[in-house]
């Protein structure tokens, strides 16, 4: 019963409330029906209420409004206001019923499915009650059927379009943040996580562990690139089993280079984690298609903030230098950045 995107819902609410107020003002000024004093007061009061509501949505923060379910109350209030004005002005015309489309359109565009069902159902029922009060049964049922069908079809189409759009956005977001081969986070997601970790002060600092597959080019040359891809998938599975997702961000930075970002992790603990991952890879060879076992080894570089750097670039450079120190020292080992 909440908005899909509170900020977008608030912006759209301001626009649609202003438009509805202007349309209602023009309708009040130029429509041919003669209202009594109560009807005129109700019609122009509705214009004022719409303008006041638009100002409130323009000024108030959207997320608290969403938590209080104001975005669901808004279209329901709009429906009751529309039907109330139609009743007080004794106006069951098609033009007056058309105002019901505003809250239904807005709800179907911005609210989640359950809220849309409630809003659309309320619109159909409230309009039916109003029509039966103001018109003979035959005429009321005719208008009720026509406008009810229009409102329901409109809501269904918009909800479907919104659902398709959300799926496309989610798929695009996954492509940006999840590596399609290994299922690890992408370089983009790693950079965002690292920037976020450096923006806040965490006890113990932040550790970065860089991992590189030893002799990866030789594996590709000897067994082919598909096996090289299998090695990366296997390695990702082994590393995931040794790293808790809530404690670290595991990312494939490119090629066979993998990063483990550990906010709130001290230098000694980071080195210990690197040793554990090194041993886990050594003790878990990969099974080839012919049943043979392929032994794997990794080199590991560890850097820590603030011990080895005070910024993002410096932390990565320190870990990268430590990684190459491990490779130059004979591979299959953990090297720590120099202070």
Q: What is the pLDDT at residue 319?
A: 93
Q: What is the pLDDT at residue 89?
A: 83
32: pLDDT strictly greater than 70: no
Q: What is the pLDDT at residue 322?
A: 95
Residue 33 tokens read as 């029906």
Residue 66 tokens read as 């969403």
Q: What is the pLDDT at residue 37?
A: 77
pLDDT in tens, 118-131: 999 999 999 999 99
Q: What is the pLDDT at residue 182?
A: 93
Q: If pLDDT is split at 50, 70 and 90, which confidence band does 151 have?
A: very high
Find all residues with CB under 8 Å of 16, minimum gap 6, and list them.
102, 105, 106
10: pLDDT strictly greater than 80: yes
Q: If pLDDT is split at 50, 70 and 90, which confidence band does 34 have?
A: low
228: pLDDT strictly greater than 90: yes
Minimum mean pLDDT range among 24-33, 75-84, 101-110, 292-301: 24-33
pLDDT in tens, 42-71: 788 888 988 999 999 999 999 999 999 999
Q: If pLDDT is split at 50, 70 and 90, which confidence band does 33 have?
A: low
The mean per-residue pLDDT over the stretch 149-160 comes to: 94
Residue in 212, 210, 221, 229 with CA at minimum distance from that of residue 286:
229
Residue 311 tokens read as 């910024």
Minimum mean pLDDT range among 132-146, 196-210, 321-335: 196-210
Q: What is the pLDDT at residue 300?
A: 96
Q: What is the pLDDT at residue 30?
A: 79
pLDDT in tens, 291-307: 999 999 999 999 998 87
14: pLDDT strictly greater than 70: yes
Whether residue 179 contacts residue 249, with contact meaning beta carbons closer than 8 Å, is answered with no
| Average pLDDT value for the chain | 90
Q: What is the pLDDT at residue 135?
A: 93
Q: Phi/psi at 127 (nearest 5 deg)?
A: -65, -40
Distance, C-alpha 137 to centroid of its chain = 47
The mean per-residue pLDDT over the stretch 216-239 comes to: 94
The alpha-helical segments, DSSP class H, found in the chain are 6-30, 37-59, 62-67, 70-88, 94-97, 101-110, 113-134, 137-177, 187-199, 216-223, 225-242, 267-282, 312-328
170: pLDDT strictly greater than 80: no
DSSP letters, 249-306, are EEEEEETTEEEEEEET--HHHHHHHHHHHHHHHHT-PEEPTTS-EE---EEEEEEEET
- Catalytic choice (143, 230, 256, 320): 256
Residue 256 is among the residues annotated as catalytic for this protein? yes
% of the chain at pLDDT higher than 70? 98
């Amino acid at each position: 019963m909440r908005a899909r995107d509170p900020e977008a819902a608030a912006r759209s609410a301001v626009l649609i409330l202003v438009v509805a107020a202007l349309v209602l003002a023009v309708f009040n000024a130029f429509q041919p029906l003669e209202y009594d004093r109560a009807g005129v007061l109700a019609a122009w009061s509705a214009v004022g209420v719409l303008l006041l509501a638009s100002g409130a949505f323009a000024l108030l923060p959207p997320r608290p409004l969403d938590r209080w379910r104001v975005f669901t109350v808004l279209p329901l209030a709009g429906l009751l206001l529309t039907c109330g004005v139609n009743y007080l002005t004794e106006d069951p015309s098609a033009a007056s019923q058309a105002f019901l489309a505003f809250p239904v359109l807005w709800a179907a565009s911005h609210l989640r499915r359950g809220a849309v069902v409630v809003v659309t159902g309320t619109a159909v029922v409230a309009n039916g009650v109003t029509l039966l009060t103001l018109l003979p049964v035959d005429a009321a049922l005719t208008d009720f059927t026509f406008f009810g069908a229009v409102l329901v079809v409109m809501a269904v189409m918009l909800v479907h379009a919104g659902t398709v759009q959300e799926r496309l956005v989610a798929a695009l977001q996954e492509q940006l943040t999840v590596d399609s081969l290994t299922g690890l986070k992408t370089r983009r997601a790693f950079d965002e996580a690292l920037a976020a970790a450096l923006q806040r002060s965490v006890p113990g600092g932040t550790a970065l562990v860089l991992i590189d597959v030893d002799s990866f080019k030789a594996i590709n040359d000897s067994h082919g690139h598909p096996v090289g891809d299998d090695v990366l998938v296997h390695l990702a599975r082994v590393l995931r089993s040794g790293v808790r997702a809530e404690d670290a961000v595991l990312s494939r930075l490119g090629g066979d280079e993998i990063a483990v970002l550990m906010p709130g992790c001290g230098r000694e603990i980071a080195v210990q984690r690197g040793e554990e991952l090194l041993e886990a890879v050594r003790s878990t060879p990969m099974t080839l298609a012919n049943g043979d076992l392929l032994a794997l080894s990794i080199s590991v570089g560890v850097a820590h903030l603030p011990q080895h750097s005070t910024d993002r670039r410096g932390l990565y450079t320190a870990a990268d230098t430590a990684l190459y120190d491990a490779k130059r020292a004979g591979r299959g080992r953990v090297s720590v950045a120099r202070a």
